[in-house]
Amino acid sequence: MSDLSEVRPGTALRLVTAPVTRVAEYVEILKPRVMSLVVFTGLVGLVLAPGHIHPLLAAVAVACIAVGAGAAGAINMWYDRDIDAMMRRTAGRPLPAGRMMPGEALGFGAALGVGSVLIMGFAVNCVAAELLALTIGFYVLVYTIWLKRRTPQNIVIGGAAGAFPPIIGWAAVTGDIGWGAVALFAIIFFWTPPHFWALSLYRMGDYAAAGVPMLPVVAGPSETKRQMLLYTLLLWPVSLAPCLLAIAGAVYGIGALMLNALFTGSAILVRRDTTDRSARRMFAFSLLYLFLIFTLLLVDHAGGGRL
């Protein structure tokens, strides 16, 4: 058995070490920008739900939604590290860039996922915990592992994972799922395809190189633009459902109509534009659209729906 004393003078000694993972890398694999929107929509579901919840438990519920979303994001980055390395948009992430070992990301995500579900169950209620577990599982197993690399409908079906947080927030208060929560789910569900397809239009080369069958890669830009416009039109009645269910009033209703007009107008511009400019603008506006829709729900709720 040899030791360092047997290394002859002048012989180069090469040490292979694992990368030192910094806190910033752990934060990055949680997808904090995605998490912030998830947390906000979950908070709105919690506020709009009928009934009362102690402020401390409300804070715990929102924190569990945030941690659960981050857990799903970390496991997603672990599984997708191979295709992330092929795309310019994602090549700099910690795993494909070699700043984090795969096992670290998987272990970190799994621990956060299990912990968030257990705390939600013990501190809040079992229904909210089950919904949180369903959300994490749906994003990881259904979207990431099953759909993303197999079908151009990956975003349509898989988008349900991002639409669950308002239902979780609602269930944290009521212990069940009401029609109001379903309406909030539907808004995010129908918003997701035009949002992601706008991104995939100007990142089509990346997705093609990585073998991800996004709709523009499989069906072409023209069909993608047509379906984007269709989904923005479907959002008109869907986004007004909170008014019909009496969980929102005139302030929200008027604001939602204005935002829908802008969103549909963006889709029309994308369909007419032969460059990437309108698609980039629509992607940016889609984030603002969802944020403002849910902000209007909060404002309307706080003001009782009065102008």
Q: What CATH number is associated with residue 83? A: 1.10.357.140
> Is 95 a member of any domain?
yes
Q: Exposure of 10 by Cβ count < 10 A (0-12 exposed, 13-18 middle, 19+ buried)?
A: exposed
Both 99 and 35 in a single domain? yes
CA neighbours closer than 13 Å in the CB half-sphere of residue 88: 7
Q: In percent, how much of the chain has pLDDT > 70? A: 92
Could you say which of 176, 210, 239 is where a domain stops? 176
> Is 9 a member of any domain?
no
What pTM was computed for the model? Answer: 0.91
Model confidence over 187-217: pLDDT tens digits? 999 999 999 999 999 999 999 999 999 999 9
pLDDT given for residue 1 in this prediction: 41
Tell whether the model's pLDDT for residue 14 goes beyond 50: no
Distance CA(195)–CA(284), nearest Å, equals 9
Mean pLDDT (whole number) for 113-121? 98
Model confidence over 140-193: pLDDT tens digits? 999 999 999 999 999 999 889 999 999 999 999 999 999 999 999 999 999 999
What is the span of the domain harbouring residue 70?
A: 23-176
Could you say which of 124, 156, 176 is where a domain stops? 176
Tokens 């072409």 identify what position? Answer: 220
pLDDT given for residue 190 in this prediction: 97
What is the chain's percent helix, strand, coil content, to nearest 5?
75, 0, 25
Angle between helix axes 32-48 and 165-174 (nearest 10 degrees) is 40
What single string gives the DSSP state of each residue in 145-207?
IIITTT-TTHHHHHTHHHH-HHHHHHHHHHSS--HHHHHHHHHHHHHHHHHHHHHHHHTHHHH
> Is 190 a member of any domain?
yes
Structure tokens that stand for 63 in this block: 């924190």
Tell whether the model's pLDDT for residue 7 goes beyond 70: no
Could you say which of 176, 203, 225 is where a domain stops? 176
Distance CA(120)–CA(58), nearest Å, equals 10
Tell whether the model's pLDDT for residue 6 goes beyond 80: no
Mean pLDDT (whole number) for 56-68? 97
Region for residue 19 given its phi and psi (left: phi exceeds 0; alpha: psi -120 to 50; beta: otherwise): beta
Distance CA(174)–CA(61), nearest Å, equals 12
Tell whether the model's pLDDT for residue 12 goes beyond 80: no
pLDDT band at 48 (very low <50, low <70, confident <90, very high): very high
pLDDT given for residue 160 in this prediction: 92
Tell whether the model's pLDDT for residue 5 goes beyond 80: no
Both 304 and 232 in a single domain? yes
pLDDT given for residue 121 in this prediction: 97
Both 306 and 219 in a single domain? yes
> Is 270 a member of any domain?
yes
Both 137 and 241 in a single domain? no
Both 99 and 163 in a single domain? yes
Nearest to 306 by CA among 244, 256, 251: 251
- What is the number of H-type helices and E-type strands within the chain? 16, 0
